[in-house]
Amino acid sequence: MTNRFWRIDARPEGNQFTSALSLVEAPLAEPGEGEIVIRNAMLSMDAGTRMWMSDREDGYQPPLPLGAAMSGLVIGRVTASRHPDFPEGTLVRAFGQWGDFSVVDAGLSGAIVLEESVADWRAWFGPLGMNGWTALWGIESTGAAKPGETVLVSAAAGATGLLACQIAKLLGCEVWGMAGGAEKCAALTRDYGLTGAIDYKAGNVRAALAATGGIDVYFDNVGGPLLDDVLVNMNHYGRVAVCGLVADYNSGTRTHPSEFDQVLMRRLRIEGFFSPDFMHHGPELTARLRQWHEAGELDLPYDVTHGLENTLVAYDRMLSGKNMGKVIVELEA
Ligand SMILES: NC(=O)c1ccc[n+]([C@@H]2O[C@H](COP(=O)([O-])OP(=O)(O)OC[C@H]3O[C@@H](n4cnc5c(N)ncnc54)[C@H](OP(=O)(O)O)[C@@H]3O)[C@@H](O)[C@H]2O)c1
């Protein structure tokens, strides 16, 4: 049997993904001891994976070697197994490969068995998945948001951001978002009940943020110049939970906040957090997220592209902000 997969051939410049990755075909490997083969039903497009495509060695994950299959989260059924916990037919989520199939070590890939009772599998990527875990952890643990506090979320209309906004609201906070474009901002206030949303592309973000009356928790997905605009609008003893730095991923720049002295002036705490560090809390995070999700209180739109051959279109949609909510590629069964 053969397998088609996306191979990384070169380090992409900006969002030039089509010249850096190619869709290739190779014989499907047999699973080794402890490995499983997954027939991928859907691929999760995650902004953080953009860093693995670069050659930086000091990131939280080493660069993907050139010539390797592009990796990312997948959902699908096990078609061959040499691991007793994942028999053939099991529905799983794992860090696999952008391909028709993923061949992974069940332990190292973080594979988990998914409950069949959740009708919409996409939820296992979004509200019940890594985005949900990250949003809840960042708001509640790293950001230490308290009821009545003002929370600001950047990339607020994306997968992680939109969940963070809703979770902060569920925890009793007043929530503001920043997103690119008037349409996304209108949806954030109209459909998700945010107190206000700021279109960072419209300019003068610093002045616009004054309307928040001061920010207690900043859930930062973006970094870049927006971070400076936020630092001067933070309340004393505020917390900045650094989730991601998407402004730097495509450009290859690095965020250097020029308003860093506000950390002292306003006695701020800035702390990064990374989902693999709290993966062992997954079951309890999922249980809480699931309650909200099933009660209809945690909702996420899906931006779906069909076909493995269109994966790079989906990936570009996400990194260029054409998405609202979670970007997914659905594959032929
Ligand atoms: N720490 C962790 O463990 C962890 C786990 C998951 C995700 N994350 C982070 O969460 C963030 C969001 O990831 P995601 O996978 O959920 O993607 P996403 O938010 O669904 O999509 C990325 C969004 O980033 C925004 N964006 C892109 N370039 C930007 C720029 N230069 N300035 C401002 N906004 C920009 C776009 O929205 P606009 O239209 O608003 O520009 C786009 O919709 C990323 O930083 C990612 O690394 C971290």
What's the CA angle centered on 172, arms 194 and 324, to 5 degrees? 35
| Burial tier of 88 (Cβ tally within 10 Å: 0-12, 13-18, 19+) | exposed
Specify the residue with its C-alpha closest to ligand 1, atom 2: 274
CA–CA gap between residue 131 and residue 129 (Å, rounded): 5
Residue by residue, DSSP assigns 67-124 as TSBPEEEEEEEEEEESSTTS-TT-EEEEEEESBSEEEEETTTTT-EEPPTT-S-GGGG
* Strand pairing class (215-220; 150-153): parallel
- The alpha carbons of the chain give a radius of gyration, in whole angstroms, of 20
Question: Which stretch of DSSP H or E encloses residue 242?
Answer: strand 234-242
Amino acid 23 reads L
The residues with which 303 forms a beta bridge, in sequence order, are: 327
CA–CA gap between residue 6 and residue 98 (Å, rounded): 6
**CATH code, 130-276:** 3.40.50.720
DSSP 158: B
pLDDT for 333 equals: 65
| Pocket flag, ligand 1, residue 134 (CB < 6 Å) | yes
CA–CA gap between residue 310 and residue 325 (Å, rounded): 18
CA–CA gap between residue 333 and residue 331 (Å, rounded): 6
Specify the residue with its C-alpha closest to ligand 1, atom 26: 321
Cα of 322 to ligand 1 centre, how many Å? 11
Which residue has 């997220």 as its token pair?
289
Q: Which two tokens stand for residue 67?
A: 């010539």
- The domains spanning 2-125+300-330 and 130-276 adopt the same CATH topology: no
Specify the residue with its C-alpha closest to ligand 1, atom 19: 158
**Residue ranges, the chain, pLDDT below 70:** 333
| Pocket flag, ligand 1, residue 318 (CB < 6 Å) | yes
pLDDT for 332 equals: 81
pLDDT for 94 equals: 98
| Pocket flag, ligand 1, residue 323 (CB < 6 Å) | yes
Domain parsing of the chain, residue ranges: 2-125+300-330, 130-276
**Neighbouring residues of 286: CB distance < 8 A, sequence distance ≥ 6:** 128, 132, 133
Percent of the chain with pLDDT over 70: 100
| Pocket flag, ligand 1, residue 76 (CB < 6 Å) | no
Kindly give the number of the ligand 1 atom that is closest to the alpha carbon of 50. Answer: 47
For a mutational test of ligand 1's pocket, the pick from 44, 188, 220, 221, i.e. the residue with the most ligand atoms closer than 8 A to its C-beta, is: 221
**CATH code, 2-125+300-330:** 3.90.180.10
Q: Is the pTM of this model over 0.95?
A: yes
Cα of 88 to ligand 1 centre, how many Å? 35
Select from 89, 92, 128 the least CA-distant residue to 110: 92
Q: How many CB atoms lie within 10 A of CB 316?
A: 17
* Strand pairing class (21-27; 35-44): unpaired
pLDDT for 251 equals: 87
Angle between helix 282-294 and helix 159-170 axes, rounded to 10 deg: 80
Cα of 313 to ligand 1 centre, how many Å? 16
Kindly give the number of the ligand 1 atom that is closest to the alpha carbon of 324. Answer: 43
Cα of 319 to ligand 1 centre, how many Å? 7
DSSP 10: S
pLDDT for 149 equals: 98
Contact of 35 with 104, CB cutoff 8 Å: yes
Specify the residue with its C-alpha closest to ligand 1, atom 6: 131
Kindly give the number of the ligand 1 atom that is closest to the alpha carbon of 242. Answer: 1
CA–CA gap between residue 127 and residue 288 (Å, rounded): 10
DSSP 30: P
pLDDT for 252 equals: 86
Sign of CA pseudo-dihedral 278, 283, 284, 290:
positive
Classified as helix, coil or strand, 28 is coil
| Pocket flag, ligand 1, residue 47 (CB < 6 Å) | yes
pLDDT for 322 equals: 97
| Pocket flag, ligand 1, residue 72 (CB < 6 Å) | no
Cα of 48 to ligand 1 centre, how many Å? 8
Specify the residue with its C-alpha closest to ligand 1, atom 24: 155
The string of pLDDT tens digits covering residues 285-319 is 999 999 999 999 999 999 999 999 999 999 999 99
